[in-house]
Amino acid sequence: MKIACKYLFLVGSLLLVTFGCGSVNNPVSDKNSCVDSGEYYSGKVEYRECCEGLTSVAPIDVIPPEERNPEYEGRWIYMCKLSEAPGVQTCIPCGDGVCQEELENGCMCPEDCGEPE
């Protein structure tokens, strides 16, 4: 999934204004509104608040056991990897006691989904 941001550059100036950041498949609709569940935004470009009951996290995938590098066993990178570019954030309902597999996993929210195996 790629991040789509619109930029406005002012010629002869260092001013960079960003708006409309979000993923191509799940864009943040209004930069003045809170970020809803499953929406992506660039945490490096702008600070955004998640909507009530949601937590901002980096999108992280669980690495399937057959793809894990034994050199990293016992370390976080043995089981988990970033699924988007560094700085990309998403909002998920982590901590509500329910693992919503389309949004959460053991790397992003072990409280709801348990530790990856």
* Residue 116: CB atoms within 10 Å: 20
Looking at the domain assignment, is residue 101 inside a domain?
Answer: yes
Distance, CA of 105 to CA of 90 (rounded, Å): 13
Looking at the domain assignment, is residue 15 inside a domain?
Answer: yes
pTM over 0.85: no
Q: What domain count does the chain have?
A: 1
Indicate the helix (H) or strand (E) that contains 56: strand 55-57
The DSSP secondary-structure symbol of 76 reads: H
Indicate the helix (H) or strand (E) that contains 65: none
Owning domain of residue 38:
3-111
Looking at the domain assignment, is residue 117 inside a domain?
Answer: no
Tens digit of pLDDT for each residue in 32-45?
689 999 999 887 87
Looking at the domain assignment, is residue 116 inside a domain?
Answer: no
Distance, CA of 62 to CA of 115 (rounded, Å): 10
Tens digit of pLDDT for each residue in 64-88?
999 999 999 988 889 999 998 888 9
* SS3 at position 4: strand
